């Protein structure tokens, strides 16, 4: 008898990955089929062509008909978010962190009263959504009201998410509605100094992405793709990481080294005593994601060489010149693939450097004009997940070398994991688990438990 199953699809800019996952009975969480096909985007093409191909392949493997098809997407550049706030180190910073956790690429951050130049800079960033924040609840609302008025009358014609001072929320929403702009309001991202509440804004951004943004990406000619999409891929990956952490595994860290970006996700439990000592202007998001647009294996490889030099991971001169040369080859031909052991070692070198820099940026303490924000304490991380083609196709010895900085790099200023399990997401299941997390949590947890491949001892 065919198991009841759901097809989960991750539509990326390059590849569309599909997985058929059983969701009921003793087989819940079992992977019944997987497929990866080129994403069909571009002039005169429809993203549904590749999606339907991937779905058909996994349905053929699983048998019968699926209960549902669910999609997350980063095609068409994913979700581009601009943040407009009150003070850069307070609400603008809070909004930026929330945007990253919602799976967005934060393309612009501004603070203070918007003027003509500020509006022009925002439009030049070409956001899909603008997150408008400002003021704690009961605090100053003048800047929020001013910015809402300027955006409603002269801002980009994109959806707006309002997540600022609740005292001004009704008036701000009315301003956008009066100007016939799409607007969604939610709770304040920073209700009090030192208290960050990302969840309402994260949900609102997801809703706007699904209902107002994805259909405007030029990916398809009809509404079906937008109806299938549940959220931006990074948002659903974070949901999978959070589910795994809450399942009893403990703190989880995922590092995804891609061709254009390196993303780091963490779901941590802060030490209560440590957290009480650091009541910062904007508290640390213990569950979140950072994205490094200058670090990648192909399109952003040259950024890895420059960042490694800045972080003193390579020496100026011959060593940096060598890494920069390797990076240039990959940047100039993103379809390039290593054909020898030495070329695979070179790829591993770039991946290790990208991972190290991205982890430092994700976890290290930061200095602001208000003081010092504590770094993320990674010492209790129980599970490290490596994601990305460079990890999936690596031999165990090379893979362990690439991941070594997770355990040994002490230059970032945080405590590194003491004795985690190292695993690889070889079958692209973290996003699928995020798509199942809300209504099939046990199947999602079983999928992650069974499909993540541990490194051999």
Helix axes 341-363, 301-310, angle to 10 degrees: 60
How far from the centroid of its chain's Cα atoms is residue 161's Cα? 19
Give domain 5-76's CATH number out of 3.40.50.150, 1.10.287.1040, 3.20.20.370, 3.30.420.40: 3.30.420.40
418-to-381, 382, 383 alpha-carbon distances in Å: 8, 8, 11
Long-range contacts of 135-138 (CB under 8 A, 24+ apart): 135/86, 135/91, 135/164, 135/165, 135/168, 135/188, 136/165, 136/188, 136/190, 136/191, 136/192, 136/193, 137/165, 137/166, 137/167, 137/188, 137/191, 137/192, 138/165, 138/167
pLDDT band at 103 (very low <50, low <70, confident <90, very high): confident
pLDDT band at 96 (very low <50, low <70, confident <90, very high): confident
The confidence score (pLDDT) of residue 369 equals 43
* Tokens, residue 39: 């994403």
- The whole-model pTM stands at 0.85
* Nearest alpha carbon to residue 311 among 357, 361, 376, 352: 357
Sign, CA torsion 27/37/206/256: positive
Average pLDDT over the chain, rounded to an integer: 90
Kindly report, residue by residue over 143-185, the tens digit of the pLDDT. Answer: 999 999 999 999 999 999 999 999 999 999 999 999 999 999 9
What's 215's DSSP letter? Answer: G
Q: Are strands 371-373 and 366-368 parallel, antiparallel or unpaired?
A: antiparallel
Write the CB contacts of 63 (distance below 8 Å, at least 6 apart in sequence): 2, 32
- Choose between 286 and 278: higher pLDDT: 286
The answer to whether residues 74 and 234 touch, using CB atoms and an 8 Å cutoff, is yes
Q: Where are the domains of the chain?
A: 5-76, 79-216, 233-454
Write the CB contacts of 404 (distance below 8 Å, at least 6 apart in sequence): 352
DSSP 132-170: E--S-TTS--HHHHHHHHHHHHHS-SS-EEE-S-GGGHH
Kindly report, residue by residue over 191-219, the tens digit of the pLDDT. Answer: 988 788 889 999 999 999 998 899 888 89
Pinpoint the alpha helices (H) of 333-393: 341-363, 389-392
CATH superfamily of 79-216: Cobalamin-binding domain (3.40.50.280)
């Amino acid at each position: 008898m065919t198991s009841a199953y759901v097809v989960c699809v991750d539509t990326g800019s390059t590849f569309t990955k599909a997985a058929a996952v059983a969701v009921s009975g003793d087989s819940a969480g079992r992977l019944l089929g997987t497929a990866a096909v080129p994403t069909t985007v571009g002039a005169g093409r429809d993203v549904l062509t590749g999606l339907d191909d991937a779905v058909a392949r996994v349905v053929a493997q699983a048998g019968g008909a699926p209960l549902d098809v669910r999609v997350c997407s980063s095609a068409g550049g994913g979700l581009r978010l601009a943040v407009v706030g009150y003070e850069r180190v307070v609400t603008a910073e809070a909004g930026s962190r929330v945007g990253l956790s919602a799976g967005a690429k934060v393309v612009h951050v501004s603070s203070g009263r918007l003027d003509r130049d500020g509006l022009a800079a925002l439009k030049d960033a070409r956001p899909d959504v603008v997150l408008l924040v400002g003021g704690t609840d009961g605090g100053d609302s003048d800047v929020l009201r001013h910015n809402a008025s300027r955006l409603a009358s002269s801002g980009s014609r994109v959806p707006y998410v309002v997540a600022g001072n609740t005292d001004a929320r009704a008036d701000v929403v009315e301003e956008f509605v009066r100007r016939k702009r799409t607007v969604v309001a939610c709770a304040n991202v920073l209700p009090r100094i030192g208290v960050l509440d990302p969840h309402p804004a994260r949900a609102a951004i997801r809703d706007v992405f699904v209902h107002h943004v994805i259909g405007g990406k030029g990916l398809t000619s009809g509404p079906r793709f937008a109806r299938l999409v549940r959220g931006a891929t990074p948002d659903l990956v974070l949901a999978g990481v959070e589910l795994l952490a809450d399942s009893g595994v403990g703190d989880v860290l995922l590092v995804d080294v891609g061709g254009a970006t390196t993303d780091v996700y963490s779901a941590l439990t802060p030490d209560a005593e440590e957290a009480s000592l650091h009541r910062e202007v904007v508290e640390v998001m213990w569950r979140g994601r950072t994205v490094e647009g200058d670090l990648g294996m192909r399109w952003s490889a040259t950024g890895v060489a420059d960042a490694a030099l800045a972080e003193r991971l390579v020496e100026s001169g011959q060593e940096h010149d060598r890494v920069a040369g390797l990076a240039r080859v990959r940047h100039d031909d993103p379809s390039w693939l290593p054909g020898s052991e030495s070329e695979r070692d070179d790829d591993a070198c770039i991946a290790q450097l990208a991972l190290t820099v991205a982890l430092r940026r994700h976890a290290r303490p930061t200095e602001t004009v208000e003081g010092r924000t504590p770094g993320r304490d990674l010492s209790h991380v129980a599970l490290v997940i490596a994601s990305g083609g460079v990890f999936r196709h690596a031999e165990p010895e090379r893979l362990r070398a690439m991941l070594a900085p997770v355990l040994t790099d002490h230059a970032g200023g945080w405590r590194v994991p003491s004795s985690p399990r190292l695993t690889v997401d070889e079958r692209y299941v973290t996003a699928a688990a995020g798509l199942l997390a809300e209504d099939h949590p046990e199947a999602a947890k079983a999928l992650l438990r069974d499909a993540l491949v541990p490194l051999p001892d």
